[in-house]
């Protein structure tokens, strides 16, 4: 039984800002506001910040999970005005400036919702039950274990069709996550897995990539999409643009065109949806569960509740359906909201949000990437180097950057990945 209010958060007389979510947006807002005269309470279901763009490298044994995670408490060790609690926000009570969480209630003066999004299965229950999402470190670890377990199981089969089903991996979704994962799997097939499983015939291993729209990397340029498809096909990935997955029972994938593919592994990276929060009126929620906000990221009709990042939808002339759900939007909105709260307290007018598009990029494999940057586009080796640099510098913590850099150098030189560990969680009965 939880207490009514979260204990051990003192009333200091400072204005209390509650931030729900420790992702890119929530962490940025907390770090900026922590240097001002506020009490900050940061909530997240995990006690760490996770670097989502590199989930696929954990899933394919390229990086340790700890290399792309950073303890949230460590970020604020020296800030006595910041309190972290491992909790989920469950309901907002705007009329009394209060929220209900999984560990108790909490009063706020300002509330920032940065809860992010979850996997969207578009109502397909069997797909949800049998496919593997990749929206968290734990899911990436699960996928790594699942792939390795299937290859161990393939060694025990004698029927060719069964061996092929265990070895074949299907990825649904042609965005950056799907493209990068498919490329990494193709490289594992070429360089890594045959050395670990010499008894298996790797001509039976197929990597499929399905995308319901007509092209890969839909948010990027036609050139980037074309190059990505060319690189992936050259690496042996079977690409099906304009092909939707309609069902999956754990053994057989059913496509919209009626074709069926046997595979024990389906990775779902095809879409996202917001996580509904009780207390936010239904008329402020879009079809994909994003919360409608005004030009300063205030939820429509509420003077002290902000929403930032993937969970919010700010309709503008350039973005009539809301801004793209990428890290840069969340970071820029967090910076603006933090500044606007400071301005409110100083009785200064709030400033509107203007998204500065810094470009988009995706890596396909060794020496291969595509990048759409302001004013120019690059692909191949130069884009790959840019991708490495940008992602390395975006990580939280110098130690994490160092560990990942060493891992990347080692993998590049040796054509190997040393983290193929099938670690099963112990369950007490």
User: Catalytic site residues?
Assistant: 180
Cβ(295)–Cβ(353) under 8 Å? yes
Which has the closest alpha carbon to 155: 198, 191, 205, 207? 198
H helix runs in 188-285, sequence order: 193-196, 222-234
Residue 312 main-chain phi, psi, to 5 deg: -105, 160
Residues 6+ apart with CB under 8 A from 43: 18, 19, 20, 21, 22, 84, 85, 86, 87, 88, 89, 101
Which two three-digit tokens encode residue 324? 């793209």
Residue 247 main-chain phi, psi, to 5 deg: -160, 155
Longest dimension (CA), the chain: 75
Q: Work out whether strand 89-93 and strand 98-101 pair parallel, antiparallel, or are unpaired.
A: antiparallel
| Cα–Cα dist 170/260, whole Å | 12
Q: Give helix 222-234 / helix 176-187 axis angle, nearest 10°.
A: 20
| DSSP annotation string for 387-399 | HHHHHHHHSSSHH
Half-sphere exposure (CA, 13 Å, Cβ side) for 24?
A: 20
Query: Nearest 5 degrees, angle CA 406-CA 408-CA 412?
Result: 120
């Amino acid at each position: 039984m939880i207490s009514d209010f979260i204990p051990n958060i003192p009333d200091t007389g400072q204005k209390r800002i509650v931030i729900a979510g420790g992702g890119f947006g929530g962490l940025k807002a907390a770090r900026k506001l922590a240097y001002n005269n506020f009490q900050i309470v940061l909530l997240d279901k995990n006690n760490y910040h996770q670097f989502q763009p590199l989930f696929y490298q954990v899933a394919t044994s390229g990086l340790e999970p700890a290399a792309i995670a950073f303890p949230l408490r460590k970020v604020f060790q020296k800030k006595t005005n910041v309190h972290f609690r491992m909790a989920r926000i469950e309901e907002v009570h705007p009329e009394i400036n209060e929220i209900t969480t999984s560990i108790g209630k909490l009063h706020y003066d300002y509330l920032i919702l940065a809860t992010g999004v979850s996997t969207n299965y578009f109502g397909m229950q069997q797909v949800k039950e049998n496919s593997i999402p990749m929206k968290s470190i734990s899911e990436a670890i699960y996928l790594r274990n699942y792939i390795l377990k299937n290859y161990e199981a393939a060694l025990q089969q004698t029927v060719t069709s069964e061996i092929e089903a265990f070895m074949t991996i299907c990825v649904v979704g042609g965005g950056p996550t799907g493209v990068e994962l498919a490329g990494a799997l193709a490289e594992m097939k070429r360089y890594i897995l045959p050395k670990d499983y010499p008894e298996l015939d790797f001509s039976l291993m197929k990597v499929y990539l399905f995308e319901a729209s007509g092209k890969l990397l839909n948010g990027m340029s036609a050139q980037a999409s074309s190059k990505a498809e060319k690189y992936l096909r050259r690496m042996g990935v079977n690409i099906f643009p304009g092909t939707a997955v309609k069902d999956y029972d754990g053994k057989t994938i059913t496509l919209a065109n009626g074709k069926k593919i046997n595979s024990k592994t389906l990775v779902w990276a095809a879409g996202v949806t917001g996580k509904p929060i009780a207390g936010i009126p239904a008329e402020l929620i879009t079809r994909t569960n994003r919360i409608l906000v005004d030009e300063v990221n205030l939820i429509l009709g509420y003077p002290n509740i902000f929403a930032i990042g993937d969970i919010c939808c700010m309709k503008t002339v350039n973005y009539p359906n809301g801004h793209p759900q990428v890290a840069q939007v969340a970071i820029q909105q967090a910076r603006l909201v933090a500044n606007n709260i400071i301005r409110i307290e100083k009785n200064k007018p709030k400033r509107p949000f203007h998204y500065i598009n810094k470009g988009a990029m995706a890596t396909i494999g060794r020496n291969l990437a595509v990048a759409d940057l302001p004013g120019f586009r690059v692909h191949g080796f130069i884009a790959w180097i840019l991708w490495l640099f940008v992602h390395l510098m975006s990580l939280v913590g110098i130690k994490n950057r160092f560990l990942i850099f060493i891992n990347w150098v080692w993998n590049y030189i040796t054509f190997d990945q040393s983290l193929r560990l099938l670690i099963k969680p112990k369950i007490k009965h």
